Chain A
Amino acid sequence: SQTIHQWPATLVQPVGSPLSLECTVEGTSNPNLYWYRQAAGRGLQLLFYSVGIGQISSEVPQNLSASRPQDRQFILSSKKLLLSDSGFYLCAWGGGGYYSGNTIYFGEGSWLTVV
């Protein structure tokens, strides 16, 4: 069966520090991968998605970046965190290709507090 792992689960970072969140998927190949963010009391915002190695689409301009160095690995990064980057970050995976019926499955999330 497919599983998704995301870490770290919780982190507190000072403003201006770098960020690296990592996500890996097991049990499937060539998945679509996604990074979402949920700020306190707000809805889910799609940040990045990837349909293959090295292919990243950005949905929202910001100081975050994403990379996909391997088929089942997705990394969210920042060189300098802002207070507004605080939130609940979720990695997700879905079936490959552009198919409207694909469902996506979420990891357990990472709580980021920028202080």
Chain B
Amino acid sequence: DAKTTQPNSMESNEEEPVHLPCNHSTISGTDYIHWYRQLPSQGPEYVIHGLTSNVNNRMASLAIAEDRKSSTLILHRATLRDAAVYYCILGYSTLTFGKGTMLLVSP
């Protein structure tokens, strides 16, 4: 699986937007970009995924660079419940999870 690079941690204040970056310079043309998040003591939860175009759903937005070598997960208004580890993954038949970004949200 192609490798992704994410910051180890990020901090945000409640009600503010959060932009979580991910670099994937070796992405192939068929790799989708997946984002999952994991709350403490729980299994990972699907957030969003996309191929080339930006994507929106009820949880977040995914902005994909034109060359597809990077992407950004956007949480429009962070809440305390968004504090989690966020994983950016490129996958085909299997998804390989890296260390992710731990998002800390302050009141």
Contact = CB atoms under 8 A, between A and B. Distances in A.
Contacts of B46: 103-105
Given A59-B94, A103-B46, A106-B43, 12 more contacts: A43-B98, A46-B94, A46-B97, A51-B93, A90-B43, A100-B32, A100-B51, A101-B32, A101-B51, A102-B91, A103-B49, A106-B44
27 contacts: A34-B94, A43-B97, A43-B98, A44-B38, A44-B87, A46-B94, A49-B93, A49-B94, A51-B93, A90-B43, A92-B43, A98-B92, A98-B93, A99-B92, A100-B31, A100-B32, A101-B32, A101-B51, A103-B46, A103-B49, A104-B46, A106-B43, A106-B44, A106-B45, A107-B43, A108-B43, A109-B42
A32 interface: yes
A97 to B, nearest CB: 8
Interface string A72-88: 00000000000000001
B65 interface: no
Interface of A: 32, 34, 36, 43-44, 46, 49, 51, 59, 88, 90, 92, 98-109
